[in-house]
């Protein structure tokens, strides 16, 4: 039998009991506590500090470890080593979250799911910070905090508030496609094993020779997409709020490892210049008929976190973590996100968050010009020069000069002027949502579900915002608005 661990205080000193406190006043329940009782003081002081700031969005999550395996050769498009060599496997960490609720939220609520994935490659960390829908609610980063606040709690009542939700979307209609996806049955997945994930943004694959391609990433569940009906999801949110966590945990315990197939849509730069849709507008998809899905690899989850806080809460994902061969595009949302996540991690976890075991690269790291700071727990590069350009300890430089994609890969010559840009909604913003409505029409009951799901939510909002919401849906198709209106009336009558 394995020997049981000897209890010590946090500084390693063995201690005879974890429950004894020093009393002045006798061996009974009456007693004055002593300042010399290190165990009691340390225990209480640590308890008060055991929370770290939760993520401002995507606080509530489920996560696991796994591996990404290359299944198809795409070496003509990228030098990225983790994508080259059929059969090559890289360790992966996945964190799937709801967006709006706080850390203790319910798994089955209606929400987009976030997909934070870190691939530990031989060239450093490649993060994919995606969502469970292929488009987003806004295409302009300045609106992102407002979008999220409108989905969260009212500043006065501290309650989630459908009125402000609809008030925001009524006035920022560019996100109508994402809104329809949210209120389709996809908004309430049966489990995270049954969802797809999408990059949303356009990224670039690059080669040393300067060639590049634009891509969008699709990650499709091999378990099949399965969703809950609105009313069942609402019930589960009360009855089994940790239902998705339990489902994933148990699947891995049972060695029923969930897997996903990773596909890229790949576009030539010349095509991007003339394409029907602006490829830097993340409220737009690239129809598969224009750019088919090309299989690339397989993701498998096969290990539960040994400790949720250590592995999942402390994980920090960022769209700016990119290996050579992968680069950002000129999507303004992506550009803004490349600042926001590292900034959030520094606030939430501290300046040395990259050193935490769950985030630490498996490849060689030598970055002596970033050192010190709270909680440095490496050797901090010992006595190596902490300034650039030293002959005392020569450093070898490899890889691209400048930001990823800046030198390698084209479309980076810019001419223009600085302007104040405001994104405005136009008729074109309703074309793809209309196509989605047509697709729903081919699936039994899906249009009815969408209308019912919207009505359930909208009926909780102040009637003042109803008309404008219906007007917005009527721009997709008059039938959508009409069906929502009918459902709204049914709900109103049932409350009479």
Please identify which residue in 56, 240, 246, 435 interacts with ligand HEM, judged by CB under 6 A. Answer: 56
Contact set for ligand HEM, span 196-225 (CB under 6 A): 200
Does 452 belong to an annotated binding site?
A: no
Please confirm, yes or no, whether 131 is among the known catalytic residues. yes
Check 23, 28, 46, 58 and give the catalytic one. Answer: 58
User: What does the alpha-carbon distance between residue 203 and residue 331 come to, in Å, rounded to a whole number?
Assistant: 9
Q: Which is nearer to ligand HEM, 336 or 491 (CB)?
A: 336
Token pair of 67, please? 């591996």
Count of other CB atoms within 10 angstroms of residue 392: 7
Nearest Cα neighbor of 107 from 302, 244, 282, 247 is 244
**Does 326 contact ligand HEM by CB under 6 A?**
no
Binding of residue 177 to ligand HEM (CB under 6 A) = no
Q: Which is nearer to ligand HEM, 115 or 452 (CB)?
A: 115
User: Contact between 348 and ligand HEM (CB under 6 A)?
Assistant: yes
Taking CB under 6 A as the rule, does residue 248 contact ligand HEM?
A: no
Q: State which residue, 79 or 311, has the beta carbon closest to ligand HEM.
A: 311
DSSP 81: G
Phi, psi dihedral angles at 190 (to 5 degrees): -65, -40
340 touches 290 (CB < 8 A): no
Minimal distance in Å, beta carbon 318 to ligand HEM?
8
Active-site pick, 60, 125, 131, 321: 131
Out of 316, 327, 408, 451, point to the residue binding ligand HEM (CB under 6 A): 316
E strand intervals along 168-250: 197-198, 203-206, 212-221
Q: Which of 182, 217, 171 is nearest to 68 (CA)?
A: 217
Task: Indicate which single residue of 246, 272, 340, 361 sits in contact with ligand HEM (rule: CB under 6 A).
Answer: 340
**What do you get for the CA distance between the two ends of the chain, in Å?**
67
CB-based burial label for 275 (10 Å; 0-12, 13-18, 19+): middle
* Number of other residues whose CB lies within 10 A of the CB of residue 274: 6
Region 66-105 residues binding ligand HEM, contact defined as CB under 6 A: 95, 97
Examine the residue annotation and report whether 46 is marked as an active-site residue of this protein. no
**Which window, 85-93, 109-117, 372-380, 451-459, contacts ligand HEM (CB under 6 A)?**
109-117
**Positive or negative CA dihedral for 412, 415, 421, 424?**
negative
Q: Which stretch binds ligand HEM (CB under 6 A): 52-60, 184-192, 464-472, 482-490?
A: 52-60
Helix or strand run (H / E) with residue 339: helix 332-349
Interface with ligand HEM by CB under 6 A: which residues? 55-58, 61, 95, 97, 114-116, 129-131, 136, 141, 144, 200, 315-317, 333, 336-337, 340-341, 344-345, 348
Report, as residue numbers or ranges, the catalytic residues. Answer: 58, 131
């Amino acid at each position: 039998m394995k020997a049981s661990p000897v209890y010590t205080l946090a500084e390693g000193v063995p201690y005879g009991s974890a429950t004894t406190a020093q009393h002045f006043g006798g061996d009974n329940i009456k007693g004055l506590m002593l300042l010399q009782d290190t165990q009691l003081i340390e225990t209480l002081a640590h308890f008060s500090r055991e929370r770290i700031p939760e993520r401002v969005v995507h606080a509530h999550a489920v996560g696991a470890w796994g591996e990404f395996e290359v299944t198809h050769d795409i070496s003509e498009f990228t030098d990225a080593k983790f994508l080259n060599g059929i059969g090559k496997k890289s360790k992966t960490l996945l964190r799937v979250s709801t967006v709006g609720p706080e850390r203790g939220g319910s798994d089955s609520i209606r929400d987009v799911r976030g997909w934070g994935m870190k691939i530990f490659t031989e060239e450093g960390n490649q993060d994919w910070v995606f969502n469970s829908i292929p488009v987003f609610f806004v295409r302009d980063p300045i609106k992102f905090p407002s979008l999220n606040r409108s989905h969260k709690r009212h500043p006065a009542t501290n309650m989630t508030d459908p009125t402000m939700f609809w008030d925001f979307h009524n006035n920022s209609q560019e996100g109508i496609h994402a809104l329809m996806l949210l209120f389709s049955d996809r908004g309430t997945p049966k489990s995270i094993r049954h969802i797809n994930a999408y990059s949303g943004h356009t990224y670039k694959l690059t080669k040393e020779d300067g060639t590049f391609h634009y891509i969008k990433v699709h990650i499709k569940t091999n378990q099949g997409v399965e969703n809950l009906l609105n009313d069942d999801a609402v019930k589960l949110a009360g009855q089994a709020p940790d239902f998705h966590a339990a489902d994933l945990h148990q699947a891995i315990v049972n060695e029923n490892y969930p897997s996903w197939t990773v596909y890229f849509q790949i576009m030539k730069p010349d095509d991007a210049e003339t394409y029907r849709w602006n490829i830097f507008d993340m409220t737009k998809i690239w129809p598969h008929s224009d750019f088919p899905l090309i299989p690339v690899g397989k993701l498998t989850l096969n290990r539960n976190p040994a400790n949720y806080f250590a592995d999942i809460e402390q994980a920090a994902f960022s769209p700016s973590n990119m290996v050579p061969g992968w680069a950002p595009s000129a999507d303004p949302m992506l550009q803004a996100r490349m600042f926001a996540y590292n900034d959030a991690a520094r606030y939430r976890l501290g300046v040395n968050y990259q050193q935490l075991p769950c985030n630490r690269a498996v490849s060689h790291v030598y970055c002596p010009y970033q050192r010190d700071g709270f909680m440095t727990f490496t050797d901090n590069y010992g006595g190596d020069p902490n300034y650039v350009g030293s002959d005392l300890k020569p450093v070898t430089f490899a890889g691209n000069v400048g930001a990823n994609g800046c030198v390698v890969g084209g479309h980076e010559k810019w001419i223009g002027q600085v302007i104040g840009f405001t994104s405005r909604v136009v008729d074109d913003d309703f074309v793809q949502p209309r196509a989605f409505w047509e697709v729903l029409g081919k699936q039994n009951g899906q249009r009815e579900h969408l209308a019912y799901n919207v009505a359930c939510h909208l009926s909780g909002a102040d009637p003042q915002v109803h008309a404008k919401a219906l007007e917005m849906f009527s721009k997709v198709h008059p039938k959508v608005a009409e069906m929502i209106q009918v459902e709204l009336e049914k709900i109103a009558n049932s409350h009479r």
